[in-house]
A and B are shown apart, each in its own frame.
Chain A
Amino acid sequence: MVQRRVFLKSGALAFLSLGLTPGFMWRTVWAEANRRRKTLVCIFQRGAVDGLNVIVPFAEPNYYRMRPRIAVPQPGARDGAALNVDGRFAFHPVLAPFKELYDRGMLAAVQAVGSPSATRSHFDAQFFMETAVPDYKSVQDGWLNRALSAADLSDPQGHQYLRAVAMTESMPVALKGTESAVAVSDLESFLSGPPAGLEAFEALYDEDSGDAVLGGPGREAAEAIKVLRENDPRRYQPVVDYPGSPFGHSMMEIAQLIKADVGLEIAFADVGGWDTHVNQGASQGQLALRLRDFGDSIAAFCADLGDRMEDVVVLTMSEFGRTARENGNAGTDHGHANCLFVIGGSVRGGTIHGEWPGLEPEQLYEGRDLALTTDFRNVFAEVLSSHLGIENLDRVFPHYQVNRAKFFGLMG
């Protein structure tokens, strides 16, 4: 009796015995391989979210001195108190779902993380964070696209068309590059395919077209749609309620794509409205409203996926933080370092990582912002390495020396 060993992407061995038809065997292997496929979900908060009001450094007296109108009250305060997490930091009260994930060990955070670039331009900073080569305008492809190319595609019938999906109208810089990625602003319209019909479109781009440059991508587009139609993600109705916002909708669709086993490795979504220069609010108000939707959508996503979260990591990011001091409009201006979240079933949650530089005047960057103690690329590198198993990190982060010694042990 011949036994065949098949090495799955996760490294586990599967013994398959004779008696199964090859087709069945491959489908099983394929399903298995896909089932254990890891997915990274990157969420970009565009506009520079005020990290100091998201993960509140309530033990810093200066936090309250510098923000008389917009500081989030201490844990234990009567109204709108921050949710104590580890004695130094507390979550904004609307992030109660995050607190729960933290307590369950699924959520970790990193403080004082960000980009060394001095730019305070949203667009430049977002560009630099998505290319992950700060201050180099000559590199124009995205770190996630380079990650796709560095990732080892070892499954036998690799559906390479849907490895990366951006839930946005146009392709974000982070996913631009040589590897195939699809921007799907909404599944419904993507699934309905080209208006003249998928078959016609496919015929336009088949090998007979003789177009070496256009033929491939055209056929890939048709394949992506076919794969999606065969594994229709809309079959997987959410088991929880998502917020009705566009961001909530995006998270729901990413969950559907994951459940549909279409081979998704990287998902990208973004959410705006964080640029709170005026009237930011404290426990309530503009920022709180957005943050509530943000937290609820991600929490719903985690609940929806249930134990599939073992193979999923959600990584949040924002181009820079905001000033430590409130400004004259009860808001904040562009700052420097920020915080981010790492959420997933295999994440070693329950810790806030990162060296906290403090908020004393001499500890502030340029006398105004939270100083940087961790380069965002090191965190991104750690997630790519520990979660997606990517080893060739130099290729993903050119002009940067990844410091493995400074990895936080985010994954367990």
Chain B
Amino acid sequence: MARAILLTSIALFAGLLRPMSGAAAVSQAAEAPGDLSEREAAVHVLNRLGYGPRSGDVERVMEMGILTFIDAQLSPASIQESPELERWLAEYQTLTMPTTQLFLEYPPPQRLQAMARRRGEELDSAEYRMAARKSFAPLMELSQARLARAVHSERQLQEVMVDFWFNHFNVFARKGPVRLFLAEYEREVIRPNALGNFRELLGAVAQSPAMLFYLDNWMSAAPDGANVAGQTPRRRRGQAKGLNENYARELLELHTLGVDGGYTQEDVVEVARAFTGWTIDLRTGEFIFRADLHDADSKVVLGQEIAGGGSMSDGEQVLDLLARHPSTARFISQKLARRFVSDDPPEALIERAAATFTATDGDIEAVVRTIVTSPEFFSREAYRSKVKTPLEWVASGVRGLDVPARDTRPLVGALNRLDQPLYGAQPPTGYADIAEAWVSSGALLMRAELGQRLARASARGPTGRELVREGLVDGALVLLLPAVDTERLRPLLTSEVNEQTQPRMKVETAVSLTLASPEFQRK
């Protein structure tokens, strides 16, 4: 009965977005092969819209109603955040500091050295090293905070979207001073727009010092001879002469249209010209538009003429053009479908999501809603079809086991060892969202090793005691693999557990093997 209700509601909901009669929608959903049970659907939603279920979450979602849960997650502001999490985050003071303040208090050692020299002094190599270490403190806090949020936030979908968009608009923390731009990047650019409007997000990224530095646009200047509103460009030391195409290329290839989205090398150059002068005031770390570096001549991008004039308007027009382009709707929809549904998402779903993107002028929430309420999302093919990235594996393990994780430094370290350092993807493509990227013999061994540490930490805590009381193997399996067929694992775990005599070791073994199992690598 509950199942029929679930299917009906999903079908009706989906029906809101598709022109289909209510009855047809219901019957179609009811006949669709490979449907999930309500329990499976709840687990699925918790695994895909968040970082996995905590103890009791599956029941809560089922009681609330799956669609109600999805609805709430799509409006993070409507969800009361965990007060404990907010208290912890408040302790990371650099999180809320403006970049200017970070520059002052955590300057890169080169800058400190330059300042010392101006006073007639010199930092020795020990002081230099210490300054370098200190200047990484904001990055450490940001990484810890990100993990704390992934594990503890009630606004799980928002955190998933922060991860998604940061990765889509990837910047590498260790390039130059980028690490000092990140707090603002995540706080002002990514998180507020994560379920908002794509064009606004795109615009905020384009002006962010993080992206301007990472993709070198900060040093892009009008080529010699170009119209720069009658002024002679003042070149800064170390600045490339003229145009730097890096940002323009990645804007087209990775941020909007996609590599086959229909642009040419000429378009790259024209877009680069439009963004000349979008740069950073390196004293304060803030965005600044330098008209004297801007190429004020007119441009032609994707066949459209963009009048010159010497202001930021041509860059803005380029962003308008790109945000509205059908290739962008498709590219973004495909990535979102890959994130939420499967590594190779069904074409029909991508098309519907792209249609939503276009119809809503880039409303991310609407596009995500189309995807996560679709029959494809709730299909048997999609269920447990994705392999967890290191971040998802760590967070889901910690959540499932309710391991006290106030100090998330060990978790940050775990991500380094699993080859997914936070803010540490060096190329602009960010981290790949497919199984091949994360599955290797070494990776599985590493997860087994780290899983054992997590198991040990949990064995000591309340979860461990609970498991001892309830019955270890079943307890561990239900906790970590709800709604999964664990017929195969049960005897395996039982025989290993029976070889242990100490209760804590029994818990550790059961949990550790579950975390290492192929079943737990999937979501």
Contact = CB atoms under 8 A, between A and B. Distances in A.
Given A137-B428, A180-B441, A214-B521, A278 B488 contact: no
Contact of B426 (A123, A193, A214, A329): A123
A137 B517 contact: no
A217 B427 contact: no
Given A137-B429, A194-B445, A278-B125, A170 B440 contact: no
B interface, over-half SS: helix
B17 interface: no
A217 B518 CA distance: 10
Interface string B415-454: 0111100000011110000011001111111001100100
Given A171-B419, A279-B125, A127 B444 contact: no
From B387, B439, B518, residue with most partner A Cβ within 10 Å? B518
A180 B488 CA distance: 27
A221 B441 contact: yes
Contacts of B427: 127, 137, 140
A123 B512 contact: no
Interface in A103-146: 121, 123-124, 127, 137-138, 140
Nearest to B128: A278
B275 interface: no
Contacts of A182: 441-442
A205 B516 CA distance: 10
Contact of A209 (B387, B496, B518): B518
A362 interface: no
B496 A217 contact: no
A181 B448 CA distance: 17
A329 B509 CA distance: 56
Given A169-B417, A279-B125, A214 B444 contact: yes
A389 interface: no
A256 to B, nearest CB: 19
Given A213-B387, A214-B387, A204 B492 contact: yes
B516 A217 contact: no
B352 interface: no
Interface string A320-346: 000000000100000000000000000
Contacts of A193: 445
A209 B488 contact: yes
A54 B174 CA distance: 28
Contacts of A221: 441-442, 444-445
Contact of A201 (B174, B448, B522): B448
Given A170-B416, A213-B439, A218-B444, A195 B426 contact: no
B165 interface: no
Interface residues of B, number: 41
Interface string A251-283: 000000000000000000000000000110000
B172 interface: yes
A196 B444 contact: no
B175 interface: yes
Interface in A162-176: 169-171
A197 interface: yes
A275 B439 CA distance: 33
B465 to A, nearest CB: 21
A383 to B, nearest CB: 25
Given A170-B417, A195-B512, A196-B509, A217 B492 contact: no
A205 B492 CA distance: 11
Contacts of B441: 161, 180, 182, 217-218, 220-221, 224
From A124, A127, A140, A213, residue with most partner B Cβ within 10 Å? A213
A200 interface: yes
A329 B117 CA distance: 11
A203 interface: yes
Contacts of B337: none
Interface in A201-248: 201, 203-205, 208-211, 213-215, 217-218, 220-221, 224-225
A183 interface: yes
B114 to A, nearest CB: 11
B324 to A, nearest CB: 26
Contacts of B349: none
B513 interface: yes
Contacts of A218: 441, 444, 518
Interface string B378-394: 00000000010000000
Interface of B: 113, 125, 128, 172, 174-175, 259, 387, 416-419, 426-429, 435-436, 439-445, 448-449, 452, 488-489, 492, 496, 509, 512-513, 516-519, 521-522
28 contacts: A123-B172, A123-B174, A123-B175, A137-B428, A138-B259, A170-B418, A171-B440, A180-B441, A181-B440, A181-B442, A183-B442, A194-B516, A196-B509, A196-B513, A204-B513, A204-B517, A209-B518, A211-B518, A211-B522, A213-B387, A213-B435, A214-B444, A214-B521, A217-B439, A217-B441, A218-B441, A278-B125, A329-B113
Given A196-B452, A196-B496, A217-B441, 13 more contacts: A161-B441, A169-B417, A193-B445, A194-B448, A196-B512, A196-B516, A204-B518, A213-B387, A214-B439, A214-B444, A217-B444, A218-B518, A329-B113
Ranked nearest first, the 5 interchain pairs of A and B with the lowest CB-CB distance are A221-B441, A195-B452, A194-B448, A214-B518, A220-B441
